[in-house]
Amino acid sequence: MGKDNQMYYGSGGVERIGSDRREVSNTQTANRPTFPPTPTDNAIRDSKRNIGGFHDLDVYQSSYKAMIIVFKEILPLLPKTERTDLYDQLSRSAKAIPRLIAEGHSKRHQNKGFQKYIDDAHAESNETIVSIYQVRDLYALGKSIDRCNELVDIYDKISRQLFNLAVSWESFHSRKQQRS
């Protein structure tokens, strides 16, 4: 993308900056008084950064770290009898999320391609939540119950980030097509 068409990702969203963004800002604020930026405005501006690759996405980083926790702390709780069912399902869904984000990011030039991978990652995240609930309720004891609950919260946040990213991406491409 050229300098005027860079993408910046905030927490779960996408914003287009450059000449098109300035036109929208001027239109939106033409009849409104201007105020100095608030601390919230500054925090939002500071939270948006240039994304060089998929590894810069917060949702990718969160999903990768959560996957490591699943493999090191949750899967060892499962008995060998679950090796072909819950163990395999949880390991596959946890690994799939960062992989789908990475693959989708490489297809971000295709609206439908990127959207499909983000939707699939969202589905895998929700599947991972259910599997963690099952581990917690069937096999976890003591502190591992708390760890399962923490992971459910992390994957819930990942699901919300993926949903927001998908909505923002769809909105971005709709605006892009209207300008064409």
Whichever domain contains 106, its CATH number is 1.20.1440.60
Block residue for tokens 């939002």: 44
The answer on 64 and 40 residing in a single domain is no
Residue 6 CA to residue 155 CA, distance in Å, equals: 29
Name the stretches of the chain with pLDDT < 50: 1-35, 38-46
The answer on 77 and 18 residing in a single domain is no
The predicted pLDDT at position 2 comes to: 43
The answer on 37 and 63 residing in a single domain is no
The answer on 83 and 34 residing in a single domain is no
- Cβ(17)–Cβ(6) below 8 Å: yes
The answer on 45 and 20 residing in a single domain is yes
The predicted pLDDT at position 13 comes to: 44
The predicted pLDDT at position 113 comes to: 82
The predicted pLDDT at position 47 comes to: 53
- Cβ(155)–Cβ(128) below 8 Å: yes
Beta sheet of 49-50, edge-to-edge order:
14-16, 7-9, 49-50
The answer on 112 and 156 residing in a single domain is yes
Domain span at 35: 3-50
- Flag whether the pTM goes above 0.75: no
Q: What's the number of domains the chain is made of?
A: 2
The answer on 155 and 79 residing in a single domain is yes
Q: How many CB atoms lie within 10 A of CB 160?
A: 15
